[in-house]
Structure 1
Amino acid sequence: MIVLSIDTSGVDCAACVYDSAADAVLGEVTENIGKGHAELLMGIIDGALQQASVTLQEIERIAVTIGPGSFTGIRVGVAAARGFALSLGIDAVGVTTLETLAAHHLREHPGQPVAVGFDAKREECYLQTFAADGSPTSDAALLSLEDAKAILVKFDGVIIGSAAPLFAGAETGSGPDHFLISTVARIGAQKPQGMPKPAPLYLRGPDAKPQSGFALERRAPLQAP
């Protein structure tokens, strides 16, 4: 299966073309941009396709990160993935950023359960735990740091992610979480057929909220004399 994976969930904007039968990355482009995913994503996808010498019509599945992460960035990636899938008549699958970081760690350091914690700021974190085989042992959740620490006291495994220093008592996290876009492709290739369409995993509401108290008075239209 030829998989195109997309990540716009954080500071990176990335795309990868992956052959699951050969377990081979055919093309991969990652740029650390911070913001502006919508403007750059299509060019990055084109770059990955060119590296792979593969046309978009040869892609058999789309895999996209669905969060948790940047509210706007996730929307960009999910919309692109669903648009490609619809136009090409293929499946699109969602991959969480937490399971991606866990899979990346377990690929290089197998044998122990892993807890993934992302620094969500505001004294909060995104947390999920995984068994040594990569299967989730808890749901992804937005927790206060104190609640997360209480859970992890009983956790017998490795703790990774930008929130790991916070769990150990540091005042700041380790910075933006990064992972290989090829890991997203590998996970996406293993998802079963017939999964629901990818949808953003928002564990926290958007920072921007509509204004209240400034509604304009609605007036009746003017009548012709």
Structure 2
Amino acid sequence: MTDEPVPNNLPPSVSVVVVDDHAIFRSGLRSDLDSRIRVVGEAATVEEAVAVVRARRPDVVLLDVHLPGGRGGGGAEVIAGCGDLGATTRFLALSVSDSAEDVVAVIRAGARGYVTKTISGAGISDAVFRIASGDAVFSPRLAGFVLDAFGTAAVASTGTELDRLSARELEVMRLIARGYSYKEVAKELFISVKTVETHVSAVLRKLQLSSRHELTRWAAERRLL
């Protein structure tokens, strides 16, 4: 999957943050990446990663699954700590682990792909470009874990449905699905209640839902909460 040539319609430059607790790996990865990929930050722990990603707002985060710090949640905890960034920043797990448990956990947290560290420099660069363009990328063997856990149709349809939403609509959708009131969403995102209402109407229309209760159920079924 990651050995295919990079399509011509991908962005000419992609910003990334590299998260791994081994400095020598981060250094090697930086040197192997395509020249069109700009490393704008690095981190070695859960806390550092959340801070750097929130500060830099990269296009893609190359994220190790097992990290020190935080509450022991590793890469999945980093994604959760940056959940309000919406689709502006996408996460690609890059790990030595190829266990089904690790793959499913980080994808459920919100990662758009998962590749192992045996991948080549050209392969990881290709994966970064694809993730930045909105694709999902998995090492061939790992894709089976995701399909087994979520179901082929569910994975495909959820990705397609979420792609219909803007970054702001994704933020509003997640907060509303978690039970926030319109006023609370407005306060959280520093927008007006009227703007929240407009976004919610757009989300319901694009997802073909009729109420916030249906939205909550829809998000829960897809483990987006």
- When the two structures are superposed, what TM-score results if normalisation uses the length of structure 1? 0.28
- When the two structures are superposed, what TM-score results if normalisation uses the length of structure 2? 0.28
The structure with the greater share of residues assigned to strand is 1
Question: Could you say which structure has the greater relative contact order, defined with CA pairs below 8 angstroms and 6 or more residues apart?
Answer: 1
